[in-house]
Each structure stands twice: as C-alpha cells, then as structure tokens.
Chains A and B, each alone.
Chain A
C-alpha cells in the first residue's frame, strides 16, 4: 500500500489513488453524517478528526478490483462476533453486488477508516448499520455517474445490479468502469432502499470466515510473521502491585540463542533466535520486584463491602430512601461475584518491525488507534509513521481493550534492528489479566400488602471497569463519577415499581480490572434477578407473572414483556420440580436489548447440571439470525461457566490459578445439550447482540438450583 508520506501530495480534488499492487482503484469516503458525506469526500481533508477517519490519509471503505470483487475495509475487528459477515451483508444490499463478491478485511491505520475508539460494547453492527448503507449507496451512485458520462446519458438512466452497470443494451462491470475513471464526482447521499427489499439482511448467511477457520489458515495475531523475525520474551511480575526494582541479567546474557537483553525503565525483554531460547533466557533473569504488601482474597472481599467510599446514585424514582427507612419489614439479601479471568485462548502479543522510517505492528487488538498512539509516543515518532495492521482476534472479550504489549515488541525491534514477535505465556496471561472485577451487592425491598414491590434498592460495589481501561482517560473520572461499566445491568428494569434506587460504590482494587464481555451485566443481573425471585417466592407468586406485573407500559416495557412471555411459553416454565428437573427464570435489558432465559437444571451423578437453556432475545432487526443465535449460545455457555465455576483467588500476593483446569471453566461435558433460541424483532434497526444474552444466565441457573435444592446460593461461582 502507499506510504503515508506520499499521500500528502495527493491532489485534494482528485479521488483516484493509483494502487501499487494492481488491484484497481480505491474508493474512499469518510463518514460523518448524511449531509456531510459529500463535503468530506470532496475535500479529502486531514484537518478534522472525524469518526472513522484515521486522520492520516484518505479513509478507504471499499476497494473495487479489476476482476470485480469488492474489498470492504472494516473499521471494526473480527473477534468471533460475526461482524465481518454482517457488514458484508449490509454493504451488499446498497452496492448491488452479490454477497460472494465481497471480501472483508481489517482496515489498517495506513490506509483506512479505523474506529477512533474500540471494537466492543456490542456496537459494531448497530453503529454501522446506517453509515455503511449510506456509504455503499453513495459508492453505487458514484459508479452510475461515471457510467452515465461514458455512455453520454443521465445518471437516472443507468441501472446497477449484480456488480454490473447497464444502459439499454450496454453493460460493464464495476471493475471495468473503475479502471477507466480518473476523477470521481460525489453526489448527495441517495435515499436508501426499503429494508423489506433486502436480499441478504435478515437471512442466516454462513459466516464469511468459516473456511479459513476450519482449515487452520494463519489469520491470527500469533500467526503473523515478518522477514528475519526474531523472538522476544518480556519479564512480567507475578505479584500484585509489584514494581520493578532492578534485575540481574548476567546469567541470561550468554545463553544460547540470545541476541540482546533490552533493559528499559519499565520492563526487561530478551530477544533471541527462537521462542524457546527467549523464554529460557527470560527465566534466567533475576528481577527484584518490590511489593508493599501480600494481598489475600479475604482483604479484597473486605474492601468490596458496600458502604465504603463514595456512593453515586445511578437511578432513582419516587422516594426509595424514605420508604425503606419507614418500613418495618424490609427484605434484604446480599450477593457476591468473584474475580473473573478473560482466559481467551490466543495470548496477547504482537509482531513489530521498527526502523528509522517508521514502525509496522501486526497484532490482535480491539483498540487499533489507541495502540498506535501509545507506540508512537513511546518511540518518539509521528503517529502517521506507525502502522498497526490488525489481525483476526483469537478471542477478545474485552481483554484486548488495552494492548500496550505492542510497545514492548516495538522497543525490542528498535533495539535489535529486526522484527520481533513476543507473546504472553499462559501464566502471565492469568496473572497480568485486566480482570472482571469482583462485586458485592446489597438489595433491599419493601412489599405492599397485595404482594407488589413498593420499593427496591440495589447497591453495587465493584472494582473499576471502564476506569480501568485505556479508553477512558483519567481526567474524565471526576466528571463521570460512577463507573458506567461497573453498573451496566445494575439498574432496575421494572419501572412500574413506584420507588426504586440504584447506587454504585466504586472501589479501587490493587490489581487491574476492566472490561469483561458484558461488563457488570452478569453480576448485576445475577443479584437483581435472584432477588426478584426471592421476593416472588416469599410472597408465593409465579416468578414470571411477578416480573410482568412490575413492567411499565412503554416501548421498552413492551419489548421486555414480550421476551419474558415468549421465554416462559417456549420453555413451558413451571415452578415445580418435575422428574428431578427444576427451572429457573431471569431477564435483563442491556444496551436496549431485552433477553429472557429459562435454565432447566438437575442433579446428575451428584453434580449440578444445566440440561437445557431457553433464550428469547429481541435485538431489533436481526441482520444475521444465525449469528444472533450463535452469540446467544456462546454467551449462555460462557456466562454459565463464569456463574457456576470460575474464580480467581488472591493468595499471598499472587493471583491464582495460572492455568486452565485449575481455573475451572465449562467444557463440552458441562455445556447444556439443548439451547433453544427464539429471536423477536420488535425494533426496526439492529441493536446489541454480542453481550446482552450473557445477562440472565447466572440468575436463571441460581433460581433453578434454589427450586432443586431449597438452597439460595447468593455467591458466584455457584458450584464449589
């Protein structure tokens, strides 16, 4: 691709970028809003920092090759959530091309439209739904304008279908046209087609990356290579709060294969000719780690106790404090969730090549642009001289929302003058994770005489989520106050309750905590939905009807009621244990997507087993119903794994376990053999999918366990 330095000379009015690799022509556009597209494209500017503009060169969304393939440069990374497939479906509609002719690649900072923040928060499809269609429609019209000039007619006389432009008996492919165009004209954003006429959107299209993923294609960060690449290893602390106090590298320096020991103020790295040589030399380095304190799990639990620090009210209706204070019969329960590890299978790492001219880094990351900024700052380079080429991610889940490991390979590469690849070991992953923070919840309720909830209060105390990430700079914290990540799912969704109150208590833990798929949703929903169940049971009411009775009559309430009713019906929900099988019910609303789930649980061979989960989700328009199902299935089992089994402990200043197995996760034998998903679409546009179905599962299982055993388990993991 073009070196970014050349682009400054590009004539602004011209839209054509000659490609060096013979694939035809790049069509580019930045997106701001409907009426600004035209201005932006025409000016081709670098002046403003616009969404999806990398602020370096032209922002390339589509590339049309001579053989009439469309390459879509995705500003979002593919980490399993199926975004590439959904984006291809959406683009194909307005581009008027066959889906099979669209390839999706990761946008690189060198050439294209990088997301300014991150891939995460279940926003990729919902956020790009409108802009991508507008861009695609604009491209299609640009092609028509050029065809009209060639055939000496009006744009309105040209039709576009299946990647072909035609006028009367004349026709040519997009690729043939593109090869002839010297300068483009950009029209006003054309009206979009009616969604009901779409051919791909709404269909269960197989994932477009399916074949690569079953043949073992080298598509991940850890598969990236560069010529003459060496291997690096970085010494990482294994104790909480450890700071670097110097190191003895004498033994490592002369070990076989060692090229260089790189000593920096904040880390020590080894560069060697093989991974094994780098690891062995790293292990021979004696680091003096300074720690003030040997933390224990008990101390962490104590720190988390609700009532310490500053409370931030995140939701309030009516007069909850007075009602609780005045009542003689306040029902109270406490819930807890543990430290959770991401445990994604591909470890963090990167491959960097740094020369005097610039840096190129290939890696799995959810924060492409932020990583570039960090690397540029460390190397003292201009951002435009640092190229980040994102790869497919071997799992994201929030673990790659801060990827400073790129700095380490870049620094090592600069030190040895060759490309360097370096990755975490599994122990380093477990001990240097940005964990899901542990939580403590105190719930209180006052009931009316006729069995309705008069007042409910949810206090959640949590380690940081968003405040622990690179996405939220420190100076924002005093303004924002409460950590919106920590209280995701922590609000009361039953707004027909006259008085409710949700309060967030922020705790700064001594180890890094951050985003973990769905953020606070799993733990908060576990607490609130188990408590709702307790209230229903205490007042001898059906838990499904009990929920419906407290939902307000508005659009959000309607959608929530519909998923609850559908899930109860589909699962044949009943309160009684039948043939040793108990059912538990729970529902959540996350990022405007309501989900209800029923877990059927039994004791098999002395173990609690989830036999079946019924899930009804309403994400609005489902761009790819099969991938919506896949996300539900995965979320259910991942959430079940976290709720039933997973827990990190703090022992004598260290985080344990450090390996799969001892860090107990759901395996094939634990996964429910039946998962029944129903998709409702009570909104016209696509909403969040990747995280919302993680919400109810913990509570649904705990509520089933209560019916099965009579025991109310208020602490995750539910199975000891």
Chain B
C-alpha cells in the first residue's frame, strides 16, 4: 500500500503492507532509529511518537492509519538546533541511565505538556505510564516539572 504522511516536517511516501506497524516504517524504511522497540504490544511505550500532536505507541499503529497524518519522532522534537524543553530538562536533571526507553518517555512527556502545561504529580502519574527498567522515575518526575518551567519561560 502506498502511504503518504509528513514526518518531522518533511513529506514522506512509503510502499509497505498496510498492517506494518509504523515503528518499523520509521526505523527500517525511513532509517530514524531514535524510536525504540520494546514489546511490540503497546505495553512499554519505548516506541512513542506524536501523530497529529497525540502520543501514540507506534508498534501498535498500523501504517494505513498514518496516511495523511503529521508525525513527529524524537529526531524531530527539537528545532533550530535547540533542544526541546523536555530534552533540556532531561539533560539538566541527568535523567538517562541506559537510555533505551528515554526517547519514548520524552515524547510522552512532550505530548502531555502540550495539553497540561503545569502538570501536578498526579497528572504525571496518570499520563506517564511507560516502563523504564533502570527505574529513572525519580529524576524523570523532577525533569518533567523542570520542563514545564522551561516551556513556560519560553512563552
């Protein structure tokens, strides 16, 4: 199936079986490998991307549904050579350990902050439900609050 969409601001067109998960389109066809495979069942969030601004687990999002959509991956989150506030906060708080799940968490956090600019701890608990085996949750929570501050300063 021929599928056209926008990815990180650029038009893209791929020819793949319609049920191919977008994760593999992004990683293996478009060669953007920041989006990670963790479970293939939408259970861990390592593959989180933005589809029309919403956080979506791309391992369970078939290519056919991407047609005409605006997709952002971790590679397209920052712009003008400047880190996105969430990435900056992650650096400031030295969050990553092994780092594998972090793009998924950063994408999930960025999508949450678009809708909830000043999240409470409860908002974070409810919305950030990815899995990190290094268990960097303590620093992530601090970084999420910090990212909200940076975003608000930028406005």
Chain A residues with a Cβ under 8 A of chain B: 79-82, 206-207, 209-220, 222-223, 225, 231, 274-276, 342-347, 392-397, 423, 425-426, 626, 630, 633-638, 641, 659-661, 665-669, 671-673, 675
Residue of B nearest to A638 (CB): B135
Chain B contributes a number of interface residues (CB within 8 A of A) equal to 55
Q: List 10 A-B residue pairs with CB atoms under 8 Å apart, sorted by A's residue number.
A: A82-B97, A206-B91, A212-B99, A217-B34, A344-B133, A345-B133, A659-B39, A666-B137, A667-B137, A671-B138
Residue of A nearest to B19 (CB): A276
Question: Is the beta-carbon distance between A80 and B83 smaller than 8 angstroms?
Answer: no
Question: Is the beta-carbon distance between B20 and A276 smaller than 8 angstroms?
Answer: yes
Of A80, A223, A345, A630, the contact of B33 (CB 8 Å cutoff): A223
Residue of A nearest to B121 (CB): A673
Question: Is the beta-carbon distance between B43 and A345 smaller than 8 angstroms?
Answer: no
A345 with B97, Cβ < 8 A, contacts A214-B106, A216-B35, A425-B40 known: no
- Is there a chain A Cβ closer than 8 Å to B58's Cβ? no
A668 with B46, Cβ < 8 A, contacts A207-B94, A634-B97 known: no
Question: Is the beta-carbon distance between A633 and B37 smaller than 8 angstroms?
Answer: no
For A222, the chain B residues whose CB sits under 8 A away are 36-37
Residue of A nearest to B143 (CB): A214
| Bound-state Cα–Cα, A426 to B132, Å | 15
For A215, the chain B residues whose CB sits under 8 A away are 34, 74-75, 78, 83, 87
For A220, the chain B residues whose CB sits under 8 A away are 36, 100
For B125, the chain A residues whose CB sits under 8 A away are 668-669
A80 with B98, Cβ < 8 A, contacts A215-B74, A425-B40, A634-B136 known: yes
| Bound-state Cα–Cα, A217 to B74, Å | 9
| Bound-state Cα–Cα, A275 to B138, Å | 35
Of A80, A392, A396, A668, the contact of B140 (CB 8 Å cutoff): A668
Most buried by A among B33, B125, B129: B33
| Bound-state Cα–Cα, A659 to B121, Å | 27
For B34, the chain A residues whose CB sits under 8 A away are 215-218
| Bound-state Cα–Cα, A216 to B74, Å | 6
Of B73, B83, B98, B129, the contact of A393 (CB 8 Å cutoff): B98
B37 to chain A, nearest CB (A): 6
For A275, the chain B residues whose CB sits under 8 A away are 24, 28
Question: Is the beta-carbon distance between B100 and A637 smaller than 8 angstroms?
Answer: no
B63 to chain A, nearest CB (A): 10
Most buried by A among B21, B90, B124, B138: B138
Of A81, A213, A344, A660, the contact of B102 (CB 8 Å cutoff): A213
B49 to chain A, nearest CB (A): 11
A587 to chain B, nearest CB (A): 21
A668 with B98, Cβ < 8 A, contacts A215-B34, A395-B134 known: no
Of A216, A223, A673, the contact of B141 (CB 8 Å cutoff): A673
Residue of B nearest to A280 (CB): B17
For B140, the chain A residues whose CB sits under 8 A away are 668
Interface residues of B in 103-155 (CB under 8 A from A): 103, 106, 121, 124-126, 128-141
For A206, the chain B residues whose CB sits under 8 A away are 91, 94
